[in-house]
């Protein structure tokens, strides 16, 4: 069994720290394995703790997996939101798109955990819905809409779904260059987001 920093961590952790440790271990596993394989025994083994301890914090396997998917979603949302505040809106938009592509390229299994197992389970479905809603909120905020209308939310969710599929398919097929992918996504944002917000296409390609 490979050693890991998590395994050599002190055994005496407070409940919050222990829960956070188990989630970190789960997040690490889901970077390379489908969420279905990230079971309580797998997390217990990788963390060097008993299965019972994992079940103490996550009473069912679904709760464990949903918490891991949510942690992955939070991580990605954090990357989107982390752009330098000194950047212009088009630059921040481009930076968030890049972060999205990087994340899916580097750990497609983590993204699939958020985006592709949702219908199977209410908890996982909530993770997926919350993730998409958070992305929509971020985009709307970038365009100066703190409270997007239902119509704006709907159209933005459609665009986000397209972005997701294009990145996943691009990682799988590399049918176009990364540069073409980015330009296509930015052009579609110009067209579709401007349609959603009922204004002239914002210049998303930078200043």
- Give the footprint of its own copies on this chain (CB under 8 A): 34-36, 112-113, 115-121, 125, 149-151, 153-155, 157-166, 169-170, 173, 175-176, 184, 187-188, 191-192, 195
Per DSSP, the chain holds a count of helices (H) and strands (E) of 9, 0
Name the minimum Å distance from CB 38 to its own copies: 12
Q: Which letter does DSSP use for residue 25 in this model? A: H
Kindly state the tokens that stand for 85: 């505040």
How buried is residue 198: exposed, middle or buried, by Cβ count under 10 Å (0-12/13-18/19+)?
exposed
> Based on CB atoms, which residue is closest to its own copies, 46 or 113?
113
Given a contact cutoff of 8 angstroms between Cβ atoms, the answer to whether 88 and 96 are in contact is: no
> Based on CB atoms, which residue is closest to its own copies, 47 or 118?
118
> Based on CB atoms, which residue is closest to its own copies, 49 or 107?
107
Q: At what angle do helices 61-81 and 15-30 cross, to 10 degrees?
A: 80
> Based on CB atoms, which residue is closest to its own copies, 54 or 196?
196
Name the minimum Å distance from CB 46 to its own copies: 21
> Based on CB atoms, which residue is closest to its own copies, 82 or 151?
151
Give CA–CA dist 125/85, Å, rounded: 32
Name the minimum Å distance from CB 69 to its own copies: 10
Taking the CA atoms of 110, 111, 116 and 121 in sequence, report the sign of the dihedral they define: positive
Among the listed residues 72, 110, 80, 74, the one whose alpha carbon sits nearest the alpha carbon of residue 98: 80
Give CA–CA dist 121/75, Å, rounded: 21
Name the minimum Å distance from CB 182 to its own copies: 13
Name the minimum Å distance from CB 116 to its own copies: 3
What values do phi and psi take at 116, rounded to 5?
-125, 10
> Based on CB atoms, which residue is closest to its own copies, 1 or 175?
175
Taking the CA atoms of 137, 139, 142 and 147 in sequence, report the sign of the dihedral they define: negative
Name the minimum Å distance from CB 37 to its own copies: 11
């Amino acid at each position: 069994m490979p050693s890991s920093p998590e395994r050599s961590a002190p055994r005496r952790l407070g409940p919050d720290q222990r829960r956070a440790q188990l989630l970190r271990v789960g997040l690490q596993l889901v970077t390379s394995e489908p969420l279905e394989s990230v079971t309580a025994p797998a997390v217990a083994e990788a963390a060097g703790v008993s299965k019972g301890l994992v079940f103490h914090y996550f009473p069912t396997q679904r709760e464990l997996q949903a918490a891991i998917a949510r942690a992955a979603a939070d991580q990605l949302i954090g990357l989107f939101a982390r752009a330098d505040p000194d950047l212009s809106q088009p630059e921040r938009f481009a930076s968030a798109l890049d972060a999205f592509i990087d994340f899916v390229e580097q750990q497609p299994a983590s993204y699939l955990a958020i985006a592709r197992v949702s219908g199977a389970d209410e908890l996982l479905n909530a993770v997926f819905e919350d993730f998409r809603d958070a992305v929509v909120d971020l985009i709307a905020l970038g365009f100066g809409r703190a409270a997007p209308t239902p119509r704006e939310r709907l159209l933005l969710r459609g665009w986000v779904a397209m972005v997701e599929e294009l990145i996943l398919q691009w990682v799988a097929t590399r049918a176009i260059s990364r540069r073409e992918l980015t330009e296509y996504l930015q052009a579609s944002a110009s067209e579709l987001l401007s349609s959603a917000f009922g204004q002239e296409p914002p210049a998303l390609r930078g200043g």
